[in-house]
């Protein structure tokens, strides 16, 4: 079941809750739910996405908002693992590109730990092993236009470049992250917002400037 704005939000698929009590969207009726989707090996997630989620959780948690974290993996499958997620939540230690980027900007304690904690439940997206096979032109085209809807408006050279990149991505894909694909996410950090009745209101990629405004209106 694909997620559609304005329709009931399908539950997120969690292989394991690494922090907090297990829950899901259908168990949070009556509350606004925000899901912060991130990858462990994603500097932007820790510089922007997770701090935003922590702010919303701290400010609105007692006012009817449930914030959930969902670690996913659509690349770097050797780093975006459950083991590294557990390390992060237990010790605050980050790895890979996240550590490198945040260290350069002086945003870590002792050169490897976050200066903040993640206060809300965090689960790991359900990853399904991809069986290698031939990638069809139809699959390449569908993926490309799903992520770049205005692809036809670009010059032919750019279109062909995007299609080649998509083909290489699909061929190198080891796992399918079920929630990531169900919600047609573009990358991480991403934010999913569901209203009190369980209706999907917002799916966004990157820094969401009006996030607090959206939450306030739903309350």
Q: Domains of the chain (ranges plus CATH)?
A: 14-126+178-214 (3.40.30.10), 131-172 (no CATH)
125, 178 Cβ separation under 8 angstroms: yes
* pLDDT one-digit tens code per residue, 35-49: 999 999 999 999 999
Distance from C-alpha of 96 to C-alpha of 41, rounded to nearest angstrom: 6
**Interacting residues of 55 by C-beta distance below 8 A, sequence separation 6+:** 212
Q: How many residues does the chain have?
A: 219
Task: Give the three-class secondary structure for 176.
Answer: strand
Q: What is the pLDDT of residues 55-69, one digit of tens each?
A: 999 999 999 999 999
- Please say if the pLDDT value at position 204 is more than 70: yes
C-alpha atoms less than 13 angstroms from C-alpha of 60 in its C-beta half-sphere: 23
- Joined tokens for residue 177: 């992250």
pLDDT for 138? 78
Decide: helix, strand or coil at residue 109.
strand
pTM of the model as a whole: 0.85
Helix pair angle (156-172, 137-147), 10° resolution: 110
């Amino acid at each position: 079941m694909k997620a559609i704005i304005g329709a009931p939000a399908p539950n997120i698929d969690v292989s394991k809750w690494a922090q907090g009590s297990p829950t899901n969207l259908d168990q949070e009726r009556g509350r606004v739910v925000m899901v912060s989707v991130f990858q462990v090996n994603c500097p932007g997630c820790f510089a922007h996405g997770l701090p935003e989620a922590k702010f919303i959780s701290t400010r609105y948690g007692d006012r009817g908002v449930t914030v959930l974290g969902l670690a996913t993996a659509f690349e770097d499958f050797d780093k975006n693992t459950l083991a590294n997620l557990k390390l992060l939540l237990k010790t605050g230690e980050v790895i890979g590109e996240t550590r490198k980027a945040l260290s350069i900007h002086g945003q870590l304690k002792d050169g490897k730990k976050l200066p903040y904690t993640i206060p809300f439940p965090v689960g790991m997206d359900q990853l399904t092993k991809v069986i290698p096979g031939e990638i069809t032109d139809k699959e390449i085209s569908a993926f490309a236009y799903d992520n770049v809807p205005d692809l036809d408006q670009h010059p032919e050279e750019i279109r062909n470049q995007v299609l080649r990149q998509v083909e290489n991505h699909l061929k190198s894909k080891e796992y399918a992250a079920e929630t990531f694909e169900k919600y047609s996410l573009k990358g991480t950090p991403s934010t999913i917002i569901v209203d009190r009745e369980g209706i999907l209101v917002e799916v966004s990629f990157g820094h969401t400037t009006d996030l607090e405004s959206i939450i306030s209106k739903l309350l």
